[in-house]
Structure 1
Amino acid sequence: MARSRLLPDNFTLYLVATVILASLLPASGRLAQVLEVVTTAAVSLLFFLHGAKLSRQAIFAGIGHWRLHLVVVAATFVLFPLLGWALKPLLQPLVTPELYTGILFLCALPATVQSAIAFVSMARGNIPAAVCSASASTLLGVAFTPLVVGVLLSQNAGMGDPLDAMGRIGLQLLVPFIAGHLLRPWLAGFLQRRASVMKVVDQGSILLVVYAAFSHAVIDGLWSQVPLSALAGLLVCCAVLLGLVLVTTTWTARRLGFSKEDEITIVFCGSKKSLVSGVPMAKVLFAANVAGAIVLPLMLFHQMQLMVCAVLAQRYAKRVQAPVEVPAGVAAGPQR
């Protein structure tokens, strides 16, 4: 079982196949224009459905745990960007400038929702707090990600005005999310009965955006500009970044006296970066000819975080629960 969790999942294989397809048959001309409209609509539909799926009870159940949420937000939007900036002199020589721009973009992204909650559940952590933290991170990313990317990038790197990008991201992601949540009373039952619809939209929209981004990049000579040594260096960069964040979030949770269940939530929500939010944000924030190189670090980090966190979740799940204290004067039961 542990070994199977280290293997790429089906969606990762679909992503690899999409990159190969875009490399061999990139979309251009009229097809690229149609694909632009279709991907925008698909991403908006995705966030509409995510809003409809999010339970208001789950929000209220976890919203009061403000100390935990502050730690997760700090890890997501402060610790990650600081590490990306501080490690630049050490890690940038391992990759191309475009790929390190993608790493900085990765550092500015919000946390995942589905996988973070799934791992917290697997590890027997604080699930209501995880739902609240991960969902809040997605919403905060609409405002924080463009601003943090603007601060991290000393040069334009194909990026437009962060404030203008914030408005476009809000229109494409946040407005559909809120609309879906407001319509939840009418849609929740349908989504529960038709879980496959959510999965198709979820994965299909990301694959469409990845295909469009890599099509532009391939036409502009992406693979001739990215040597194999840079791809190997990218693997090292992602591993160093993920390892430092996991160690730091674990140490911080214990230092601040959080329970083991809260520590699990902080570690898994604070170390994740969202492919679902990141790919469409890259499409908005960066010019089409550089978007492919920008999302490549995110795709690699996405698979790495899934594999590493699967192992961590299993280790947490095997922990022994604290014994129940027996009041003084009460005889203990027979030992077995």
Structure 2
Amino acid sequence: MKPKIDGFILAIIAVVIFAYVFPYWGSKNSPIPLSLIGSIGVSLIFFFYGLKLSPDKIKSGLKNWKLHLLVQASSFILFPIIIIAIYPFIDSESSFTIWLGFMFLAALPSTVSSSVVMVSMAKGNIPAAIFNASISGLIGIVITPLWMSLFLSQTTTDFDLGIIYLKLITEILLPVIFGISLQRFLGYYVRKHLRYLTLFDKSIILLIIYKSFSESFEENVFSAVNFRDLLMILLAVIVLFTVVYFIIKQIAIRLGFSLEDRITAKFCGTKKSLVHGTVFSKILFKNSASVGIILLPLMLFHFIQIFIISILASKLEKQVSLSES
């Protein structure tokens, strides 16, 4: 199976180019209230996210605790430890900004939709994938700001973890809880119109990306990043993904996981959510002109993870089919 180019990735590239050509409409002086639109859109994204979460499925998913522990530890411990190990080698402000982007990437939760789709394609443990991808987003609301507070508080005078958590609670957690409480009444309609809700989610993410890069381009932040740096970031992203994938694979084998559980562990444990990344960046780096650079490793990782995992999923699908025949 030949991997297809993700249309969303092409849309991200187009939005970044648009931000470069027309940065004014996303800048701080823009007459269009993109920040307000983005905040409302983010709350709606997580409200619909809550509507899709089934409390019964979450409860039943707790049984396979070893698999869940491996996936969540990979997302919130393994990734950050690898990036922190590089921290002593940072020798300039520009390299620190790029490193901070990798640290932000490492601290993010797993993604929901693509994890489940890829696990399903590879014939892995789908219920476990749904549980891990869903619960990871909720854990990330708490863990991601904690990781970033270790480094952002050293570089920004207005970094206040209390205010950040307040914004995360009001813009993200409360909409999720509200959505879960209405799941039994509106869950059917969400599942019925899932295609349109996915389009809405991606539109809000593209809007946030446009605003972030517009401000960075207007402040000429990317002058510190040349083509060589971009290639090095891409190479580092590939290496990071490969190392984490290999470590998860070895741990899963040593724990005696079934083939289905190994697939789920590798696919969910290596994924990072672009949705959460763009949303969290809006709150964590709201006054930083460097947010475009900080988001750069995440966007490249998003492309790499979809490209590599789609190839691996196709190969695993054939292997599982042959073993079953």
Instruction: Please tell me the TM-score bracket, short chain as reference.
Output: over 0.9
1:110 corresponds in structure 2 to 109
2:20 corresponds in structure 1 to 23
Per-residue displacement from partner, 1:103-158 (whole Å, max 9, x unpaired)? 11100000101111111111111111111111111000000000011225583257
Alignment of 1:187-226 (within 5 A): 187-226=186-225
Q: CA, structure 1 residues 320+282, in 2 after alignment: closer, same or farther (shift >3 Å)?
A: closer
Alignment of 1:128-207 (within 5 A): 128-152=127-151, 155-156=154-155, 160-207=159-206
Is the Cα–Cα contact under 8 Å of residues 90 and 96 in structure 2 kept in the other structure?
Answer: no
The answer as to 2:126 corresponding to 1:127 is yes
Q: CA, structure 1 residues 291+270, in 2 after alignment: closer, same or farther (shift >3 Å)?
A: same
Shift of residue 289, structure 1, vs aligned partner: 1.0
Is the Cα–Cα contact under 8 Å of residues 158 and 290 in structure 1 kept in the other structure?
Answer: no
Is the Cα–Cα contact under 8 Å of residues 102 and 294 in structure 1 kept in the other structure?
Answer: yes
2:284 corresponds in structure 1 to 285
1:300 corresponds in structure 2 to 300
Larger displacement relative to structure 2 (180-189 or 124-133): 180-189
Higher CA-based Rg: 1
Partner SS for 2:290: helix
The answer as to 2:249 corresponding to 1:268 is no
Q: CA, structure 1 residues 47+73, in 2 after alignment: closer, same or farther (shift >3 Å)?
A: same
What letter is aligned with 2:9? T
Partners of 1:315 and 1:118 in 2: CA distance = 15
Partners of 1:25 and 1:101 in 2: CA distance = 27
Partners of 1:238 and 1:309 in 2: CA distance = 14
Is the Cα–Cα contact under 8 Å of residues 23 and 218 in structure 1 kept in the other structure?
Answer: yes
Is the Cα–Cα contact under 8 Å of residues 71 and 269 in structure 2 kept in the other structure?
Answer: yes
Shift of residue 71, structure 1, vs aligned partner: 0.9
2:78 corresponds in structure 1 to 79
The answer as to 2:254 corresponding to 1:259 is no
Is the Cα–Cα contact under 8 Å of residues 28 and 215 in structure 2 kept in the other structure?
Answer: no
Partners of 1:229 and 1:186 in 2: CA distance = 53
Larger displacement relative to structure 2 (302-311 or 219-228): 219-228
Partner SS for 2:30: helix
The answer as to 2:312 corresponding to 1:312 is yes
Partner SS for 2:155: coil
What letter is aligned with 2:110? A
Alignment of 1:37-116 (within 5 A): 37-88=36-87, 96-116=95-115
Q: CA, structure 1 residues 315+157, in 2 after alignment: closer, same or farther (shift >3 Å)?
A: farther
Per-residue displacement from partner, 1:39-85 (whole Å, max 9, x unpaired)? 11111111111111123343233221111111111101100000001
Partner SS for 1:139: helix
Partners of 1:92 and 1:16 in 2: CA distance = 30
Partners of 2:163 and 2:300 in 1: CA distance = 28
Q: CA, structure 1 residues 219+250, in 2 after alignment: closer, same or farther (shift >3 Å)?
A: same
1:9 corresponds in structure 2 to 6
Shift of residue 15, structure 1, vs aligned partner: 0.5
Larger displacement relative to structure 2 (22-31 or 35-44): 22-31
Shift of residue 33, structure 1, vs aligned partner: 6.1
What letter is aligned with 2:240? L
Partners of 1:32 and 1:65 in 2: CA distance = 51
Per-residue displacement from partner, 1:249-280 (whole Å, max 9, x unpaired)? 00010011111111111111110110011101
Q: CA, structure 1 residues 311+322, in 2 after alignment: closer, same or farther (shift >3 Å)?
A: closer
Partners of 2:220 and 2:255 in 1: CA distance = 49
Per-residue displacement from partner, 1:281-316 (whole Å, max 9, x unpaired)? 011011241211111111110010000111111122
Q: Could you tell me the TM-score, scaled by structure 2's length?
A: 0.92
Shift of residue 90, structure 1, vs aligned partner: 6.2
The number of equivalent residue pairs is 321
Is the Cα–Cα contact under 8 Å of residues 126 and 264 in structure 2 kept in the other structure?
Answer: yes
What letter is aligned with 1:11? F
Partners of 2:112 and 2:320 in 1: CA distance = 27
Q: Could you tell me the TM-score, scaled by structure 1's length?
A: 0.89
What letter is aligned with 1:305? Q
Per-residue displacement from partner, 1:185-223 (whole Å, max 9, x unpaired)? 222222233233212211111001101111111111123
Partner SS for 2:99: helix
